[in-house]
Amino acid sequence: MGTVTNARLVTPDGVTEGWLRTEGGRIAALGPGRPPREAGDQTDLGGRWVLPGTVDIHVHGGAGASFTDADPERARSVVEFNRSHGVTTVVGGLVSATPEDTLAQVTTLAELADAGELDGVYLEGPYIAASKCGAHDPALLRDPDPAEFDRLLKAGRGHIRMITIAPELPGAPELIRAAVAEGVVAAVGHTEATYDQARAAFDAGATVATHLFNAMRPLHHREPGPIAAALADDRVTVELINDGVHVHAAIAEMVFAQAGADRVALITDAMAATGLGDGEYTLGRLRVRVRDGNATVIETGAIASSTIVLPDAVRRAVRHVGVDLADAARSAAATPARALGLDGVGSLAEGNRADLVVLDDDLAVTAVMHRGDWVRRAD
């Protein structure tokens, strides 16, 4: 049992200046002012912010490793790197690969999810549009294949949380319905879909828009496309890569104003280069060059994954987009957790997993708690 005191707790009900007690890896109690005397070992945070541990539902790698490596130790290193930086819930993201490689990758990540080291698997492809492939190898893309998807479901053993599908592809509506029926969240992305095709996908059960604006038909006043369809639909959670590269701050502000923090899920889409310096890396089978933190595919010049961790997106949302800290925290924790049905994480509430991120007044991470244990101890 332990207690943090003298903290500004960002809770679902607002900011509370007070304390939070953990027990058995869970949040046992929290409240304003000073804690009760039986609170156990206490850590005085000196008035720093305490947010729920962030939840990244769209991340591919970090610290030189990728989930596509199909190597449990390298996957663990991605999780541990993120956790030490305040990302306490991680869904392992895969990019388009051959059927054999995808099956091996899913099998590896499912084993880590079985062990509680990973919070699920995300398939970004291979059922996406070649014209909007972004940092996916176009040679590896294919039309929705129910038989292949069924094999992946079996290999995933209930841990596949989400799949991105371009709804204009042959068989896409049927696969969206099949995914939803199996408890897998269907997302619309990497797509040339028209407004009507995107709306039909949402009516078929898709509930997420993959990194809104990026790798999809752009917004146009005569053909609004998937962006307008997603923003107008209260059933849809919209992902946003808020790194200052993928989406301009003015657009991010517009998205928050239109959809609100309960529908905006901040993500990183981060790759292996995250946490490292500039240089050349790989994303799947593609070569990526990172300069000044910006990643592009060497062969095509297409913008690739980001090189941030999720608390960076929270800080940028507050400092550059003008989002309230409580809303930014919600978009980085409660909203993505709810979008993927991840229970017991994403908010500072009694009974939830004791995952905390401590920020200073500059909103930099100074401490991280995961399941009640300090991963990065407060100074």
Binding-site annotation, residues: 124, 190, 211
Alpha helices in 182-317 (DSSP H): 195-203, 225-232, 249-259, 310-316
85 phi and psi angles, rounded to 5 deg: -105, 10
**75-80 long-range contacts, Cβ below 8 Å, gap at least 24?**
75/108, 75/109, 75/112, 75/118, 76/112, 76/117, 79/112, 79/117, 79/118
Q: One-letter amino acid identity for 188? A: V
* Exposure string over 153-166, b if 16+ CB within 10 A, otherwise e: bebbeebbbbbbbb
Q: For residues 214 and 227, is the Cβ–Cβ distance under 8 A? A: no
Told to judge if 269 belongs to the known catalytic residues of this protein, a careful annotator would answer yes
Q: What is the CB neighbour count within 10 angstroms for residue 47?
A: 11
- Whether the upstream peptide bond of residue 12 has omega within 30° of 0, thus cis, is no
Cα 43 to Cα 21: distance, rounded to the nearest angstrom:
10
Enumerate the known binding-site residues for Zn(2+): 124, 190, 211
Q: For residues 165 and 188, is the Cβ–Cβ distance under 8 A? A: yes
Cα 77 to Cα 300: distance, rounded to the nearest angstrom:
29
Structure tokens at 86: 């305040």
Q: Which of the following is catalytic: 56, 137, 269, 312?
A: 269
Q: For residues 332 and 55, is the Cβ–Cβ distance under 8 A? A: yes
Helix (H) / strand (E) element for 376: namely strand 373-376
Q: Coil, helix or strand for 170?
A: coil
Q: For residue 237, what are the contacts with CB-CB under 8 A and spacing of at least 6?
A: 207, 208, 209, 263, 264, 265, 335, 336, 338, 339
Residues serving a catalytic function are: 269
